[in-house]
Amino acid sequence: MDERIVKLDIRDLPPALRHAKIFELWDRLEPGHSILLINDHDPKPLYYQFAAEFEGKFAWHYEQEGPEDWIVTIGKLS
């Protein structure tokens, strides 16, 4: 896997801890790098949070949309 992509599987984390873990990793991410997020449901609420807090600074691409797992690449643009 490309070293600019950090895999983060949150399926086993309690839901209350998931966003904190994602944003902790996001804060450490360099521009041009990405998180490959693996989740057990559509992370659409997370997308809206990114859109509100990081407008124009992230890219969002679904790699897989269910039915059991959702995989999303979240790229840090700046």
13-50 pLDDT tens trace: 999 999 999 999 999 999 999 999 999 999 999 999 99
Distance CA(43)–CA(63), nearest Å, equals 12
Domain boundaries, the chain: 5-76
Q: CATH homologous superfamily for 5-76?
A: TusA-like domain (3.30.110.40)
Asked if residue 32 lies in contact with residue 63, where contact means CB atoms within 8 angstroms, the answer is: no
Q: What is the pTM of this model?
A: 0.93
Structural tokens at position 65: 């949309």
Residues 2-7 have a mean pLDDT of 88
